[in-house]
Structure 1
Amino acid sequence: MTPELSLAIPSEDEYLALRSAAGLSAMTSAGARLGLPASWCSVCLRHAGELVGMGRVVGDGGLFLFLFVVDIAVAPAWQGQGLGRRIMQALMDEVHARAPARAMVGLIADGTAHRLYEKFGFGLVAPGAHGMLLRL
């Protein structure tokens, strides 16, 4: 059975559990409690009520015209079935429908994930610009 996709925010506990299961970096409960409700857009994939995939877009979507794709995660047992692509398609459908003109959408692709994101029009910004990161 194909997991059901919805525009929804995962609960704090299932968000933290899926990030861990999918091999993403750990987040804190306090961070999830503050950050999840502030999502510009969030997608959940559920099978029999269980969260098996998710993705979010963050940013204010109005004043600062930069949105960021984060938390693309699929449970290991469900990987390799095109669910990451399905999550990205739903997020990008929302971006194209709701984002203001001139908005920029960014992400950081780990490993070979850039191959998926290129299918949605994302490209490297160098040499014209250089992405930079400060970790605290």
Structure 2
Amino acid sequence: MAADQDPPSRDATLPSGYRLRREAPTLEEYVRMRTVAGLSPITAAQAAGPLETSWAWCTVRDGDGCLAAMGRVLGDGGWYFHIADVATDPAHQRRGLGRAVMEDLISRIDDEAPPKPYITLLGDPPGRSLYRSLGFVDSEPSLGMRLPR
């Protein structure tokens, strides 16, 4: 399936008028979505790399073609895959869009990666119940860490 084609079975799980796409948002949409959804703000320069180098993208657009939700996968294509930037515009929340994005990204990893991929994410409080409902567990004894800059 080409990167920008709709996965046919996924649109059926979305509310009427929404379309799931296997494509990246535009640079402007990506920067805006991170901000309105409560993720840390980034600059256009910071956004360029993820838009070009992510292993996979999933977006959901409303009936007017506006970005309603998004998510992406970073990975080596072999065994390690990290789901990031899962976000839904507040005007479109509580409609199952985030779940649809997550299910599509996980399905793509399962379909395209070798058996037993290692799938990670950093779960912010608003998304933890969704991630747990999809089978994610705490990574103990490992602990997510970052290097502040």
Tell me whether the two structures share a fold, i.e. TM-score over 0.5: yes
Letter in structure 2 aligned against 1:131:
G
| Secondary structure of 2:125 counterpart | coil
TM-superposed CA distance for 1:58, in Å, is 0.7
Normalised by the size of structure 2, how large is the TM-score?
Answer: 0.83
TM-score by length of 1: 0.90
1:123 shift after superposition = 0.3
Letter in 2 for 1:75: D
Identity percentage of aligned residues: 36
Over aligned residues, Cα RMSD in angstroms?
1.4
Q: 2:113 aligns with which of 99, 102, 105?
A: 99
* Number of the residue aligned with 1:49: 65
SS in structure 2 of the partner of residue 133 of structure 1: coil
Deviation, structure 1 residue 102: 3.9
Residues 1:133 and 2:149 aligned together: no
Structure 1 unpaired stretches of 5+:
none
Stretches of structure 2 lacking an aligned partner (at least 5 in a row): 1-15
Write the mapping of 1:33-48 to structure 2, written as runs, cut at 5 A. 33-47=48-62, 48=64
Question: Which amino acid is the alignment partner of residue 67 of structure 2?
Answer: L
Distance (Å, rounded) in 2 between the aligned partners of 1:103 and 1:33 = 27
Number of equivalent positions: 133
Structure 2: how far apart are the matches of 1:6 and 1:79?
Answer: 18
> Which amino acid counterpart does residue 42 of structure 1 have in structure 2?
W
1:76 counterpart residue number: 90
- C-alpha distance after superposition, 1:22-52 (max 9, x if no partner): 1111112112112211111100101111111
